[in-house]
Each structure stands twice: as structure tokens, then as C-alpha cells.
Amino acid sequence: MDSTKPLKELVIDQEKTGYRYSIEPFLLADFMSLLPGQSVLDIGTGCGIIPILLVQREPSLKITAIEIQDCSQAQKNIQQNGMMQKITLIHGDFLKEAENLEPESFDHIVSNPPYRKIQTGRINPDAGKALARHELSLNMNSLLDKSAPLLKTGGQIVLAYPPERMGETLRELECRSLYPRQARFIHGNFQTAAKIFLVSALKGKKSDFTVAPPLAVYNKDQTYSKEMEQIYASFNYTDRPNEFGKK
């Protein structure tokens, strides 16, 4: 991306009810290693935030975004940010729609998937929040089973999960020849335990697994940390969500 050209300020609206994005999309978009002209699949795009952030970062990307719930807000956001030619939006169940996508056609797959297994925690009475938080329609195994064939050899998948699922995540990735490359732990602040981790894995290509320095979202006084402020600024996004780890 041409760093000399000022970024257009993003406008990303979301519904007042149902699942609302938090900080994770910004962390995932920042964590990804992108090259010009690459193809990206975003699974569970919600209001379209991750594709919009990625195009803001690298305008030559070609992105396919899939969402099982209502897509009207995502369509609106894509249009009002002028990204209709960059992002293809599919309204449907990824587990079914994956059959219609070309095998080995994506350089990157990214997802902020449902974090919680069905038997853990209370299922939210709001249907939209329940689908986003619990593995009601998409669990880790089915996500990876359908994702792996869509990645090019050497392509990268990037996910976010809670730390208690890290061992499971690394194991399930590797058994599908998705070899973990890097992880990063995200803390509310450095006086608290990590709430999520980000992980990237390469298809069919083993590399040394590294753990990036941890990131704290907040300072002790609950203001954003310097690094989190820098991440927001890198996308030129000013309407910042104020919750983290409450998915």
C-alpha cells in the first residue's frame, strides 16, 4: 500500500441489537501477513468489518466474505466505503457454500469464529449473539475441514480463540496439514490473564513456530494502550468499540 497517500476514514455501522463486533477484527486484520493482489476468504463476516479493514490496508486484495445471518448491514458498509469492486458478499452457510468455491483458490482464510463449545456457558437468548458466540452452526472441526481444501499450498489461515482452546486448535490445525506458524496472546491489560490468542498456520508448509510479544488492549486506567491506538490509527478508524473479550 502507498504509505504516502492518506487513508480515507472508514465508516462501519452495525445493528443496535444482536451480535456486535468488538476489538477482535482489528487484531486479526493487523495480525495477517498480506501481499498485493492476494485473495482472501472471510468466514462469518458479520457487518463486513474484517474485509473492509483488509481492503483499507491493501486495496488490491480480492475478498470473498460469507455470513449466515442477515447481510444487509454488511452490504451497506461495503457500499458506503466504496469497496463494492473489492469485496464479494455471500449470504449463506459456509459449510454449504464451501462446496461452490474453487479448491485451492485463496491465499488467506480468516475467521473470528464462535469461541465456545455448546456445552460450555449459557447460550445467549438473542439468536444472533448465540450463533456468534457458541458453536451452534459452525464448530472448529467443521470450519477447518471445509477451509483446508480452499487454501492454496503455502496459503495462510488466521483465527482467534480463547487460550483454553489453544492446545486443541494447534492439534486440529496440524492434523489437516495446516502447520501453525505464529501465535499472539491478547490481554485486557498486563495485570490480567490473556483473553484470546491469535494464530496463523500455513497449508502444507512447515516452519518454525513462534510466539509474538503479547499485546495489552488497555492501560491500567482503562484507556487504550499505545499499541492498540496505533492499530486503530493504521486503519484510520475513529469510532472505536469499547468492549474486549465479551464474545
The predicted-structure confidence for 208-227, as pLDDT tens digits, reads as follows 999 999 999 999 998 999 99
What is the phi/psi pair of residue 31, to 5°? -75, -25
From the list 154, 179, 54, the residue with the least C-alpha distance to 104 is: 154
What's the CATH fold of domain 24-235?
Rossmann fold (3.40.50)
Tell me how far apart the alpha carbons of residues 212 and 232 are, in angstroms, rounded to a whole number: 19
Bridge partners (DSSP) of residue 197 are 161, 185
Q: Is the pLDDT of residue 186 over 70?
A: yes
Dihedral sign for Cα atoms in the order 105, 111, 115, 119: negative
Question: Is pLDDT larger for residue 10 or for residue 116?
Answer: 10
Please enumerate, as own/partner, the contacts of 168-173 that have beta carbons within 8 Å and a separation of 24 or more. 168/140, 169/140, 169/199, 170/199, 172/140, 172/141, 172/144, 173/144, 173/199, 173/201
Quick one: pLDDT at residue 45? 95
pLDDT band at 99 (very low <50, low <70, confident <90, very high): very high
Quick one: pLDDT at residue 125? 46
Tell me how far apart the alpha carbons of residues 247 and 243 are, in angstroms, rounded to a whole number: 9
Cα maximum dimension of the chain: 50
Question: Is pLDDT larger for residue 124 or for residue 42?
Answer: 42
Question: Residues with Cβ < 8 Å from 74, sequence gap 6 or more?
Answer: 45, 46, 47, 48, 65, 67, 89
CB count in 10 Å sphere of residue 134? 22
pLDDT band at 20 (very low <50, low <70, confident <90, very high): low
Quick one: pLDDT at residue 174? 97
